[in-house]
Amino acid sequence: MSSVVRARRAVRETVSGLPPAFWWLWTSTLVNRLGAFVATFMALYLTLDRGYSATYAGLVAALHGLGGVISSLGAGVMTDRLGRRPTLLVAQVATALSVAALGFVRDPLAIAGVAFLVGMASNASRPAVQAMMADIVRPEDRIRAFSLNYWAINLGFAVSSMAAGFIAEYSYLAGFLIEAVMTLVCAVVVFLKLPESKPVRSAEAAAREAGVRLTTVLRDGRFMGVVGLSFLIALIFQQASVGLPIAMGEAGFTPADYGMAIAVNGVLIVVLQIPVTRFIEHRDPGRLLVISALLAGYGLGLTAFAGSVGVFALTVCVWTLAEIVNAPTQTGLVVRLSPVHGRGRYQGMYTMSWAVAALVAPLMAGFVIDRFGSVWLWGLCAVIGTVAGLGYALLMRGLPAGGEEKAGGGEEKDRSAVERPAEAGTTSAV
């Protein structure tokens, strides 16, 4: 009984102290991910339902990813100039409309074009979400907040992935329309419950903001180092959905075997994300990033020795632990290195590193597996993880251990929702 009491206390401490606006943003994220059906069954829809080739399906997936790459930077600029709330609203409404349209178009060129628009629209909300979360949560609570948001993303993804199969058996069009409706629900939540969180600017702050451009981000050596290392980490994690199913298929395992192995990832994140976050919340982020990079690289590297579904599942456990540690820690580091009035652009550049990795990872997996075999792919993952770990160790040298971040706005360092209760609303947490 005491363990139950301790568990309840741990959950209460994890979710307490965060502003109401955060929970509305969290709810919007969860609803969005619960309805994320299209990405799950797009390849099956194009090949089985529409009868197109696997090559065409791959082209559409690549265009979808390219749209995300392009929108990352544009959405970051919008987040800083127009505000977090307008950017979210535009992105979510555009996503709903384009996803609905994708369910009705039949011409191959039209499908490819709309898929590109879906990629742009769906990825455009990410810089705004991350910037708003940094705005409304106190610096000391950000790791916890980012972890809870990541937990919601994975919980929603796990549920939507299971639901997508049943919906696809009934009607692919229903899946498109359900996702469109749920995305519109997110937009309604944002419109009704989330005020603009962009920090209040003095004249001096406005002048400094005007000086924060994309070239400013590119000249920020330490931050671009984080972007580069983020790209390497994303390359590793992407192989779980790109290289792993190919390698398991070549080794004689069935899609159901892959499904059982990869399901461990979602289950572990849902079960462990909150307790692990409590453990790492106040620990050295540099050390955590080094450890997570090594766990990611060598966790995928161990796949080279897997000969059964059980062993594959064990390797998934290793790199999933890396994902649980890396996601909130790295996001927190990005916020620390971003000037308050340039968060949108900085978050956009960071988001782009993952979008580019989603484009490069399939090409890397296909080339290495075809030319050298899957064992070399897993060895390459271990090498990339080692390089990323060393990179984090060097990058974090001289970075203050506390929660300081760039002010970017003179005396206005960070006006969070806690400091502006009138703007954050008074509704209780969801």
| Residues 198-245 pLDDT 10s | 877 655 555 555 556 778 888 888 899 999 999 999 999 988 877 888
Distance CA 255, CA 245 (A): 8
Give the model's pLDDT for residue 410. 37
Q: What angle do CA 318, 321, 323 make, to 5 degrees?
A: 115
User: What DSSP line would sit under 205-258, residue for residue?
Assistant: HHHHHHT--HHHHHH-HHHHHHHHHHHHHHHHHHTTTTHHHHHHHHTT--HHHH
Distance CA 42, CA 241 (A): 14
3-state secondary structure of 136: helix
Among 21, 114, 82, 94, CA closest to 344:
82
Digit-coded pLDDT (tens) for 248-296: 888 888 877 887 888 788 888 888 888 888 888 778 888 999 999 999 9
Give the model's pLDDT for residue 54. 65
Q: Which CATH number fits domain 16-199: 1.10.10.60, 1.20.1250.20, 1.10.10.10, 3.40.50.720?
A: 1.20.1250.20
Which CATH fold would you assign to the domain 214-401? Growth Hormone; Chain: A; (1.20.1250)
Give the model's pLDDT for residue 77. 80
- For residue 102, CA distances in Å to 21, 50, 91, 174, 176 come to 32, 12, 16, 12, 7
Q: Residue written as tokens 């506390």?
A: 402
CA 3 to chain centre: 32
Enumerate residues 6+ apart whose C-beta is below 8 A from 253. Answer: 309, 312
Q: How confident is the model at residue 4 (pLDDT cuts 50, 70, 90)?
A: low
Question: In this predicted model, which residue has the larger pLDDT, 424 or 174?
Answer: 174
Query: Structure pTM?
Result: 0.73
Enumerate residues 6+ apart whose C-beta is below 8 A from 298. Answer: 318, 382, 385
Give the model's pLDDT for residue 385. 97
Helices 142-170 and 20-34: angle between axes, nearest 10 degrees: 30
For residue 312, pLDDT beyond 60: yes
3-state secondary structure of 328: helix
Distance CA 171, CA 179 (A): 13
Digit-coded pLDDT (tens) for 344-387: 888 888 888 988 888 888 888 888 888 888 899 999 999 999 99
Mean pLDDT, rounded, of the chain: 81
* Residues of each domain in the chain carrying CATH 1.20.1250.20: 16-199, 214-401
Give the model's pLDDT for residue 419. 37
| CB-neighbour burial class of residue 137 (10 A; exposed 0-12, middle 13-18, buried 19+) | buried
- 179, 36 in Cβ contact below 8 A? yes
